[in-house]
Amino acid sequence: MKFRSLLVALLATFVFCCAASAQDAAKEKAPLPKFKKDALSLWLSPSNQIHNMGYGDYHSEKERMNEVADIVEPILIEQGIKVYRNDPEESIRDYTRRANELKVDLYLAIHSNAFNGEASGSVAFCHRKNGGEGERFATRIHKAIMDIYPGKDRGVVESYKYYNGKPMWETGMSDMPACLVEVAFHDNKEDSEWILANIKPIGEQLARAVLEHFAAEHPDALEK
């Protein structure tokens, strides 16, 4: 009798796992939201930090994060989003000024992190965790990375007093909802190797998160 009960429990667990896996697969294969052309816009801001070097063959944060942005940009454009991309020779003050002048709908800054070679993990920043759209956007971006990143989850973090009581510029000085994601630590061996091996999946995940955010926040802009 005990064996039969155990068998039933194991079968139930197997069925549940199969159903969950099927749901995950269906979600992964769900078509990307499509929008009316240029109805919505995004400022895409990969890191310009050419001297911020990573472990081994990583080279610079600027190089790697621009490779990620090279994946993100065409996906968004294909789905109808107007994308404005930063000039890596300008400063973050230029970026936010231009984004504000253009009145874009979202601001996404893409970075990789560094500390002491031992720290690891993925984190997304919003200006304030107050239930607003900026926090919702950062939460979607962070979840998208954590769905594929095997390391430490550092969560969604407020940036309004992050630098010794001063705000993080790109999230604090932009007029629109903004997120700065640190996908992982480029000075950590495991994290840097993961980024190098996953440039395309990282870009695809970020693009999907942007599109799903737009679909949730601006359903009227969806292409019928």
pLDDT of residue 26 exceeding 60, the answer is: no
What is the residue-averaged pLDDT of the chain?
A: 90
Would you place residue 27 in the very low, low, confident or very high pLDDT band (cuts 50, 70, 90)? low
pLDDT digits (tens, 9 = 90+) for 84-129: 999 988 999 999 999 999 999 999 999 999 999 999 999 999 999 9
Confidence (pLDDT) at 182: 98
Decide: 76 and 37 in contact? Cβ < 8 Å: no
Confidence (pLDDT) at 15: 39
Domain boundaries, the chain: 37-221
Cα torsion through 101, 104, 110, 113, rounded to 10? 60
Confidence (pLDDT) at 173: 94
What SS3 state is found at 115?
A: coil
Decide: 64 and 76 in contact? Cβ < 8 Å: no
pLDDT digits (tens, 9 = 90+) for 172-203: 999 999 999 999 999 999 999 999 999 999 99
pLDDT of residue 170 exceeding 70, the answer is: yes
pLDDT of residue 22 exceeding 80, the answer is: no
pLDDT digits (tens, 9 = 90+) for 151-166: 999 999 999 888 888 8
**DSSP class of 33:** P
Task: Decide: residue 197, CB within 10 A, 0-12 exposed, 13-18 middle, 19+ buried.
Answer: exposed
pLDDT digits (tens, 9 = 90+) for 56-74: 999 999 999 999 999 999 9
Domain 37-221 has CATH 3.40.630.40: yes
Overall pTM > 0.75: yes
Confidence (pLDDT) at 163: 80
Would you place residue 29 in the very low, low, confident or very high pLDDT band (cuts 50, 70, 90)? low
